Structure 1
Amino acid sequence: MSSTEADCLFCKIVLGDIPSTPVYETGLTYAFRDINAQAEIHVLVVPRQHYEDAAVLASEDPALLAEVMLAGVEVAKQEGIDESGYRMVFNTGPDAGRTVFHAHLHVLGGEQLGLFGRPYRTG
């Protein structure tokens, strides 16, 4: 693991090499609007340091994982969805639909979100 990866899309965004629309940032995290929004509000929160996914981040730097989560809460407050409700999601591994190999938290809200995962089944 290095602080940044030359071929990583989100590392390039954090460095400013690829433009983004910033929403919130700290010395350890950077939050920006998702260009393929899946809800009225869809913000990605990334650690500035490169970690492949949330599992690696949790294992190698749990304090930074907590900072990413706290940044997600601040994004929700700043975007005005903290009272109405929001969803925070990490996609880890191929079955989750992960497409960028840099740990990132999705913060979604601003509208009624659909059910998450499969519908409830009995029996």
Structure 2
Amino acid sequence: MKNVKDQVYAALCTVSENVSDAYPCSWAEGSTIQYTEEQNDVYEASSDAEGMREDKALVRYRIDIWNNHSTSEAALQVDEAMKVTGLKRIACADVPDPSGMKHKQMRYEGIIDMDSDSVYWR
């Protein structure tokens, strides 16, 4: 398992002060961003004298953006900010929200080499 949560959080904090890995309990005037690790699996493994070893991990993050008026600007900023993580955007869509707020959901994923932290795309 490879933990990249700190890097994702740091990247998102460059976009908004309201970033959390939990559902927002209060809504900011600007954009509110929630990030969730959806997947962190062994992608490639090998064995040696010490036993099984994870060589590469597949990670996927979902990023939700809420805003009273528009999520477009924040989505562009999130996309730019996430480039530093090496994760690739694989999906982006508007989501109906019963609260009346604008809601956009984005997904990013990559395959991370456990030894070098290099990120590969499928």
**TM-score higher than 0.5 here?**
no
The structure richer in helix per residue is: 1
Q: TM-score range by the shorter chain?
A: 0.3 to 0.5
> Based on CA coordinates, which of the two structures has the bigger radius of gyration?
2
